[in-house]
Amino acid sequence: MNILQLCKKYPFPLKDGEAIAVVEMSRALVDQGCQMDLLAMNTFRHKTNIGNVLPAELAHYHEVTSVDVDNQIRLKDAFLNLFSQESYHISRFVSEAFRLKLIDLLKNNHYDVIQLETLYLAPYLEDIKAHSDALIVMRAHNIEHEIWERIAGQIKFLPKRFYLDYLSKKLKNFELEKLNQYDFLVAITERDLLQFKSMGYKNGCIAAPVGFHFPEYKAERKDIKKPKSIAFIGSLDWMPNVEGLSWFLREAWPKVQQKFPELKFYIAGRNAPESMSHISSTSVKYVGDVEDAKKFINDHPIMVVPLLAGSGIRIKILEGMALGRVVITTSVGLEGIPAQHGKHVLLANTADEFVKAIEKCILNEDIASQISLAAENFVRQKFDRSTMASQIVEAYKQALHAYHS
């Protein structure tokens, strides 16, 4: 099976959830005997310069092509979009250079499947259909408009809330318009799949979460019984991460510090906005973009993920669990992950609940150790890469048979 994977950003380095989701699936499909080509946008915000030699993490691809795309947010364009029916979220990823390169690949190669990684590749559906008879698959990492609806609901400044709500409505209209133009849908969680069906999706589909190659995840338990630090890691150019982390620092962290003044909070993430790049203090350490995310996670026994908005699945939560960390997150953060509160993770939806969860870990070392071990076992049982890939390949074979019969 020959598969062309389309991505809205170059999936390297493997530090954010989207890049991990893209590469882990492609590796697993290659292990199942598929040939994978990649066409990726190399965007302004996530610019990657790797030269002519592919990194080892991408060596499994048969061919990798990237196209420079300037998707900067510009105030003038954002303002003018108020008077347009187009979604500003989507229009920033419309590129003539990318379209021409896509057409060139379609004319010169035969693909059985073309897999769009996220809704932001949907503007190219007509070009794909005009130049290929491949099965078109949407791999939905999130229900995109849902993220922005939730973000808008958290904003207290009314003009900004109105604007984000307006953008989310246009994004929803686009998402609904394209929904049944895909031949097959891969939702990243069962919960998202049910949501897409309730929105009117009628074609073939499967729920397939991210799978991991577990030899690459080695938990270090030497410090799990002596938590002296907690950590957050995530892309700080993604608004839900910034909003959630800002809320935690403002509402929960001062209360944690009153109880445990010796505790340190380490924050890792690239592309932090100016408002967050100077947050370091005696108790908070912003370390920026870390070279080895797994090592950073392993260095701190407790991982907080204070998400107030989002959709899909939080890959950093799964990584933390795979590495035996005690993850404390919100109900939104845990969506799509069938883990149990108190057994595999700790849930906290208010500042006081975060304080109590951190206190529980520090004062009850055995409970923290039990959650750590249960979390690791849970992810290994539920999110194995080869299991996910075999299910997807079988689903694609059946869909291709129906598609061409």
* CATH code where residue 77 lies: 3.40.50.2000
Ranges of H-type helices in 231-384: 239-247, 253-259, 293-299, 315-322, 331-334, 351-363, 365-382
Look at the chain and report how many structural domains it folds into. Answer: 2
Predicted confidence band of residue 227 (pLDDT cuts 50, 70, 90): low
Tell me the CA distances in angstroms from 393 to 34, 111, 118, 219, 390, one per residue in order: 9, 14, 19, 30, 5
Residues 177 and 243 in one domain: no
pLDDT, mean over the chain: 92
Enclosing domain of residue 47: 2-209+384-404
Rounded mean pLDDT, 183-190: 96
Residues 124 and 222 in one domain: no
Using a pLDDT cut of 90, give the percent of the chain over it: 75
Q: Is the Cβ–Cβ distance between 101 and 67 less than 8 Å?
A: yes
Rounded mean pLDDT, 54-59: 91
Residues 95 and 243 in one domain: no
Using a pLDDT cut of 70, give the percent of the chain over it: 98
pLDDT tens track for 326-340? 999 999 999 999 999
Matching residue, tokens 């957050």: 232
Exposed, middle or buried, 353 (CB in 10 Å: 0-12/13-18/19+)?
A: middle
* Strands (DSSP E) found in 199-348: 204-207, 229-233, 264-268, 284-288, 302-305, 326-329, 346-347
Greatest Cα-to-Cα distance within the chain, rounded to the nearest angstrom = 67
Residues 124 and 35 in one domain: yes
Which residues fall within 8 angstroms of residue 108, CB to CB, at 6 or more apart? none
In whole angstroms, what is the distance from residue 57 CA to residue 27 CA? 9
Q: Look at 278 and 177; give whichever has higher pLDDT.
A: 177
Residues 162 and 249 in one domain: no
Predicted confidence band of residue 341 (pLDDT cuts 50, 70, 90): very high
- pLDDT value at position 277? 66
Matching residue, tokens 């993770």: 345
Residues 235 and 192 in one domain: no
- pLDDT value at position 223? 57
Predicted confidence band of residue 157 (pLDDT cuts 50, 70, 90): confident
Predicted confidence band of residue 44 (pLDDT cuts 50, 70, 90): confident
Residues 247 and 333 in one domain: yes
Residues 295 and 358 in one domain: yes
Helix (H) or strand (E) holding 4: strand 2-7
Residues 311 and 269 in one domain: yes
The answer, yes or no, to whether residue 279 has pLDDT greater than 60, is yes
CB atoms within 10 A of CB 188: 22
pLDDT tens track for 89-108? 999 999 999 999 999 999 99
Residues 177 and 277 in one domain: no
pLDDT tens track for 129-146? 999 999 999 999 999 999
The pair of structure tokens assigned to 95 is 């590129």
Predicted confidence band of residue 226 (pLDDT cuts 50, 70, 90): low
Predicted confidence band of residue 82 (pLDDT cuts 50, 70, 90): confident
Residues 220 and 355 in one domain: yes
